Amino acid sequence: MKVVLGVAGGIAAYKACSLLRLLSEAGHDVTVVPTASALNFVGAATWSALSGKPVHTDVWSDITEVPHVRIGQEADLVVVAPATADLLARAATGQADDLLTNVLLTARCPIVMAPAMHTEMYEHPATQANISILSERGVHVVPPASGRLTGRDSGPGRLPEPEQLFAVCERELARTSPTSSVQTTGAPASDGGSTDPDARGGGGLAGRRVVVTAGGTREPLDPVRFLGNRSSGKQGYALARAAAARGAQVTLVTTASLATPPGVQAVEVETALEMQEAVGATAVGADVVVMAAAVADYRPAEVASHKLKKSHGTDDDGVADESAPTVALVRNPDILAGLVAARTDATSPVIVGFAAETGDDSASVLEHGRAKLARKGCDLLVVNEVGVDTTFGKDDTTVHVLRRGSADVVDIGPASKDQVADAVWDLVIPLL
């Protein structure tokens, strides 16, 4: 596919060389469009050698080809990395004073921008306002990472690693692929949620506060052992990553040991009770709460203060003691149902539940999901079939999304968990 790599004039421009190579090695036709300032950091010869194409910064080169219009019109994706404060300001105000800003105006494909600058510049109200404007227009703004900047400075404003940006680009290209992994069955939707891939776009969550839970809770038996489940947390992290890329302020309440996505605040917990407390605190004022975590239904009634030992003794007849302790369980709180019950007015959050189900003699996976939606009362319920080598820990999945008050079933997949996350957010946004 045709990708335009825009490069603005920041020290992080050198990272765009690696991004260019990743895109090219994936088989994409990449055209590099740097700003004049960017060439102070990485020269035109480097871009030409890596892309195999001539590089220009102004609209007057190859004028007969009308590059300021043609490049944007023909692109399947435009990614700007790094996007400096200056470039963000010019893009937000619709300026067209060089080739890159002209391309941004003529492109009708997905646009990804990765801001990179000093913390003070990134946090300035003007920059934040420009990011909000671009996000509201559907630009996929990738939050910067936090870390070492130019000189001795450290903080938010660091360009994410090329591999992370490449993953964002691949997801955007997959979202606009002619082959959609999203299908709707059942009665026509009545709530305005579109499943047409051409009608879905990046952004849509600018300025929104989002809470996502991820991973499987661990309920301790003693200082060593716990009751748990096979959830890896990958789907929850994909949802958090996609929400941040769409401009949301994201809090991730997690039990997993995965790398925190750029721009996401992680709150680490372990047990269901800890997750309940963290969700209760972070959900105040949130616009959306997504309960993707696999929360244990039960926990041990008592937790031993020491490691439980197995017996090595014998009875009076010399027979080895093969007894095992009996573990009494108590129910954990239903966090999802509690969130729904606590809603009091129209400003309460949109609530999305997850149902990890297995079919049995009494009902199918989908039938169990419908019953759970009726009990919980959340706005959306994402149902998936789980088990050994199914969903948990995998990078691909298939889910069925049920909507409160609707007979529709939105089938997503087989698809990557990042694609599923984007499709779920496309269903959430019309409810906001």
> Is there a contact between 304 and 224 (Cβ–Cβ < 8 Å)?
no
Tokens of 122: 């990134």
Beta strands at 329-331 and 298-300: parallel, antiparallel or unpaired? antiparallel
SS3 of the chain: helix, strand, coil, percent, to 5: 35, 25, 45
CA dist 392 and 216 (Å) reads 10
3-class DSSP assignment, residue 30: strand
- Cα 201 to Cα 23, 111, 172, 198: the distances in Å are 21, 10, 9, 8
Given phi > 0 = left and psi -120 to 50 = alpha, else beta, which region is 204?
left
For residue 414, the surrounding DSSP H or E stretch is strand 409-416
Residue 229 designated active-site: yes
Sheet with strand 2-7: strands edge to edge: 29-34, 2-7, 77-83, 111-115, 140-141
> Is there a contact between 16 and 78 (Cβ–Cβ < 8 Å)?
no
> Is there a contact between 217 and 271 (Cβ–Cβ < 8 Å)?
yes
Closest CA to 350 of 249, 237, 208: 208
> Is there a contact between 202 and 425 (Cβ–Cβ < 8 Å)?
no
3-class DSSP assignment, residue 198: coil
Name, in order, each residue with C-beta under 8 angstroms of 174's C-beta and a sequence gap of 6 or more.
416, 419
Type of residue found at 326: T
**Could you give the count of Cα atoms lying within 13 Å of 411 in the half-sphere of its Cβ?**
9
Residue 36 phi, psi dihedral angles, 5° rounding: -60, -35
How far does Cα 193 stand from its chain's mean position? 20
Q: Which of 130, 229, 332, 384 is catalytic?
A: 229
Q: Write out the catalytic residue numbers.
A: 229
